[in-house]
């Protein structure tokens, strides 16, 4: 029996992402191509790995075992490939770092700029918290900067979480129209993140706790657009302090809420990842005026 690493990765992604269509999008393939490759994997293993339930497929018990063992197998193969590039005591290979939008310029970019290893390459990918953990589980990234406060995404057992700090949540209001608390914004128009995102869920929860349902007049996945909307007097908003660019003329009021900023990696990750984590910790230490 010869196991094809590429097909193993597709199976692992199916376990993490849940549907063939999602795997196809992640792998930039058609759904039929993914199904064909998984069928070949079944032939190679002489084992039923998938079963159809209606219009969907799910992993059998054997499929689950292989998918979860595959993550470890693929990580070990990546480690071996990095070692074969030489320089045993020099970090090497490709590390894919996923980071949410407001942490990119404050944490990720400064961390990468501090890495001076000629055989180490870091690829930076923007991933919000609701998308970064599935990407880490599927092997699409090696390290993520995320928040464990996103309650819809419990941390899996085979993931190690490394605390980085806390980020205050702030209320934004237009210049000359300061708001001291959420209750004062009951009748104000609101700018929100896109539905299903961490910040949209948090802002909705905070408004409801303050006793009102927010009237949303704009939804933006880009925090710069949110800040511009507030600056123009068109809305109020709730954002993390990391996302507030001081070039925008907005009034900020810190709320009694913070989010925990963490890094996360798969267990048994290769040594080069430690170098990236160390650089992230240095970025946090240097930027203490923003992240606590």
pLDDT tens, 246-264? 899 999 999 999 889 999 9
Highest mean pLDDT among 78-87, 193-202, 249-258, 279-288: 249-258
Q: CA-CA distance, 246 to 223, in Å (whole number)?
A: 12
Reading the block at residue 277, the tokens are 């984590």
Average pLDDT over residues 258-286: 84
Instruction: Place 151 in a pLDDT band, splitting at 50, 70 and 90.
Output: low
From CA 33, how far away is CA 55, in angstroms rounded? Answer: 17
Query: Is the pTM for the entire model greater than 0.75?
Result: no
Task: Say if residues 254 and 241 touch (Cβ distance below 8 Å).
Answer: yes
Is residue 156 scored above 70 in pLDDT?
yes
- Axis-axis angle for helices 31-45, 20-27 (nearest 10): 100
pLDDT tens digits, 182-239: 999 999 999 999 998 888 989 999 999 999 999 999 999 889 999 999 999 999 999 9
Q: How many CA atoms lie within 13 A of 249 on its CB side?
A: 6
What does the mean pLDDT of the chain come to? 87
pLDDT digits (tens, 9 = 90+) for 92-143: 788 999 999 889 988 999 999 988 888 888 999 999 888 888 899 888 899 9
pLDDT tens string 128-139: 888 888 899 888
Rg (CA), the chain: 22
pLDDT per residue as tens digits for the range 233-247: 999 999 999 889 889
Does residue 66 contact residue 11 with C-beta atoms inside 8 Å? Answer: yes
């Amino acid at each position: 029996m010869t196991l094809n690493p590429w097909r193993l990765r597709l199976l692992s992604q199916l376990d993490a992402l849940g549907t063939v269509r999602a795997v196809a999008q992640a792998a930039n393939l058609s759904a039929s191509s993914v199904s064909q490759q998984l069928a070949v994997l079944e032939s190679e293993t002489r084992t039923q790995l998938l079963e159809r339930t209606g219009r969907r497929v799910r992993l059998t018990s054997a499929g689950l075992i292989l998918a979860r063992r595959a993550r470890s197998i693929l990580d070990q193969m990546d480690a071996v490939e990095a070692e074969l590039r030489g320089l045993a005591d020099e970090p090497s290979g490709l590390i894919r770092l996923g980071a949410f939008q407001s942490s990119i310029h404050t944490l990720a970019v400064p961390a990468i700029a501090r890495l001076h290893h000629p055989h180490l390459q870091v690829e930076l990918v923007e991933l919000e918290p609701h998308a970064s953990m599935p990407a880490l589980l599927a092997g699409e990234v090696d390290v993520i900067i995320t928040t464990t406060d996103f309650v819809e995404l419990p941390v899996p057992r085979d993931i190690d979480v490394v605390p980085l700090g806390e980020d205050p949540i702030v209320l934004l209001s237009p210049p000359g129209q300061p708001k001291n608390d959420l209750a004062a914004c009951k009748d104000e128009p609101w700018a929100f993140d896109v539905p299903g995102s961490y910040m949209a869920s948090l802002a909705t929860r905070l408004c409801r706790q303050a006793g009102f349902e927010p009237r949303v007049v704009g939804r933006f996945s880009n925090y710069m657009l949110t800040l511009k909307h507030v600056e123009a007097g068109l809305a109020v908003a709730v954002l993390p302090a990391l996302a507030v660019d001081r070039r925008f003329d907005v009034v900020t009021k810190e709320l009694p809420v913070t989010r925990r900023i963490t890094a996360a990696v798969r267990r048994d990750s290769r040594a080069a990842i430690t170098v990236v984590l160390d650089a992230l910790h240095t970025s946090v230490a240097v930027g203490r005026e923003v992240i606590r």
